[in-house]
Structure 1
């Protein structure tokens, strides 16, 4: 099918300012995908903090202890460079998905979209259909209106509190958070952040809704830079749909087209009423469109009633709109895909090969060295060892490249998980073995239980 849309229909037009959008509930193929995926995402969001791994919370970003645990991996502030790798992967994944499928992130999995859909679902169940909600808002205040509005906002606030508490359980141990909640023993900081995120959720999903996407989210502004002529987007077939006009279902389609010059658009306005952004897709490609496909479901439903072919509004591309063949796998898309895959592999190898121990060596600053009557030279060091695993480990510390007369160090040094331990070390070497005043030495630190955990630290040994 060709989408020969005239030039004026390809202009990105500004969003019409409005106070609120009354979204009509819509059923259909894309709405079903959206709803199921949203319930799945919300369920995952709530259930993940309850998942246990090795008798600990599997996912915990403990800001207070600066310990960030994700199943078998524990990350510390020293590992924050990995965050740059994560952001890099996310950026290229965003480029790849947006170039290929447009704003599907916004339409299907963005938290703002997911929670807004949930809040609208509650609103629809309490206040009724779109027309009933419009009438209710215009009606004078009565006991019935007060009851409906109060019930809706109470449920919204409850959903906001559940959302905020669940979100905090990713940063505060779940057992601690919920046990103190039940005993009304939250600290001031916890209470503040729960209320802050609850009010933010209530405002964003309940009140601001599409205004967050249109005016606050930067993604809607720069996403067009990622689009190309093959990007999948929602568009209206103006060549087939224009001119618009209402009609009866029994009217002959070919007669309307030949004699009256009418297209297939029956001007039912459902595509506008179901749009969560409140735009009219028939006005052309607009940056507010989040590619959710609700207008496609609404239009296909109308076309089916009139026995017209579906697809008046559909997922398409600028190439197809211009009557050309869409190149799904062009050089740009393949490049983004390969770079994203390469970065994911490199990040995975980086994390997997990361040595789960941190070691620093600090020399005694009061004296460079000491020499006894036998000519033995002593240097004193302080080791700071951090066990970044989730289990206690024993460590052996040795010297790689020197013959040692005496080393005062406890064997099989035990360090608990997540603990940084200071270990004083006195290294004594026969002065006759030292050929220069400053000798480079390499300490080795190796786990007894996991010998593959091995690092070397270089420092200096001073003598006379």
Structure 2
């Protein structure tokens, strides 16, 4: 995309620099090549996942469903609740470290191929190319007076944009309201207020960001472009112009009467750039590393019989003639921390259970000695069943020094997705004449085991203190 300068002298040329100025609309040229094909594949894969995932089900439930009213989040085969915050924290930390690690190695891969702003902008540009034509046709259309053709083309483009944006908005809401229910209500004109509001809101945001703001989001709103320099070093992969090979450019060489470099000064690398920069001016923070300029320049080099790679992936050290190091302290550090977090998250996922079990001792009473000589403590058992079906649970207990505890009551029914609190009494049998531990120690260790009788794999154990005397009483 190439910005067309105003025929009047620019403010900079006149010695004036304005802090705020109207952005020039960027009209991108379609690029073809290896990296363009990779971007297209990434766009189709990511959009396919986004739009289709809410429609897949598992055991009759959506594969991904964020049930905010009931505070239950179904992700693949897991059901998470707010108490699983540690798992969510681990996943977010792993995502951040993945971004840091791969940015250190290969630059802004995320921005160029997977960022939602890039993906949806690519889709909107595709509609624009399809309806209004390639760059020169759109420039001509913009300059032409309003007529039937211009109204139809501009109107058709915005109709496609709005339809795609609404689909995006409704799909986003389908992660919070079952997709079949949401789109069924939409088709029957029975969509309630909040789903309608958020669908329109996110649809409007998509239409504005991908249709109009585009590179402005990357330049001025996204913080990643600002702090990426903290993750770059001289071995990070970047897209750069080979100045030694390309200069002087063909037009300049004719003026000064010198042999021309390989750059024919066609400006195609600028015309295909989605953020409107000239890669020949060096690395700039606006560059999102989409490699469209690489494809465009390679195609030009093929047509003029020159070697490819005038604009290419490289690193600062490689350009300086120094060896390229993949394994370096920063990359190794990020990689080790990233692997450690991935192992931790994988462990949390593999050990995740829909059963939660907590034991709280009743602090209003210490202990009670019964008629038969046994001792009784009172506990509150908190049982959370995150499964999709109810379960019948049984609890048993044993003391560390051997006796089996008597628990009353010891069986409970817990509905799906519910947390119940049950008060139970736990009794330690009367000690025999040769057992002196109760007299010597005021506290015993009790282990309580909870098992679902209809699903034995659901089980949890907890330890608790069992008072056999006044812990503040002097036994000596």
Same fold (TM over 0.5): yes
**Residue of structure 2 equivalent to 1:200:** 205
- Superposed CA offset, 1:373-405 (max 9, x none): 666665544322111234543322122218578
CA distance in structure 1 between the aligned counterparts of 2:360 and 2:336, rounded to whole angstroms: 44
CA distance in structure 2 between the aligned counterparts of 1:364 and 1:177, rounded to whole angstroms: 47
Mean alpha-carbon deviation: is it higher for 295-304 or for 359-368?
359-368
**Residue of structure 2 equivalent to 1:422:** 421
Q: Is the 8 A contact 2:358 2:462 kept in 1?
A: no
Select which of 162, 170, 183 maps to 1:165. Answer: 170
**Residue of structure 1 equivalent to 2:61:** 56
**Residue of structure 2 equivalent to 1:455:** 461
Aligned CA-pair RMSD: 2.9
CA distance in structure 2 between the aligned counterparts of 1:138 and 1:34, rounded to whole angstroms: 30
CA distance in structure 1 between the aligned counterparts of 2:49 and 2:259, rounded to whole angstroms: 52
**Residue of structure 1 equivalent to 2:6:** none
CA distance in structure 2 between the aligned counterparts of 1:166 and 1:111, rounded to whole angstroms: 14
Unaligned runs of 5+ in 2: 1-18, 433-437, 471-476
Q: Is the 8 A contact 2:355 2:458 kept in 1?
A: no
1:70 aligns with 2:75: yes
CA distance in structure 2 between the aligned counterparts of 1:276 and 1:462, rounded to whole angstroms: 75
- Superposed CA offset, 1:223-250 (max 9, x none): 1111111111110011111122349xxx
Q: How many residues align?
A: 443
TM-score (norm 1): 0.86
1:333 aligns with 2:344: no
Q: 1:63 to 1:462 in 2, by over 3 A?
A: farther
**Residue 170 of structure 1, CA deviation:** 1.8
Unaligned runs of 5+ in 1: 1-13, 248-254
Q: Within 5 Å, which residues of 2 pair with 1:177-326?
A: 177-246=182-251, 260-326=258-324
1:407 aligns with 2:407: yes
Q: 1:126 to 1:447 in 2, by over 3 A?
A: same
- Partner SS, residue 458 of structure 1: strand
1:89 aligns with 2:81: no
**Higher RCO, 1 vs 2 (CA within 8 Å, ≥6 residues apart):** 1
Q: Is the 8 A contact 1:431 1:463 kept in 2?
A: no
**Residue 141 of structure 1, CA deviation:** 2.4
**Residue 115 of structure 1, CA deviation:** 0.4
- Superposed CA offset, 1:193-228 (max 9, x none): 111111111111011001111110111111111111
Q: 1:405 to 1:41 in 2, by over 3 A?
A: closer
TM-score (norm 2): 0.84
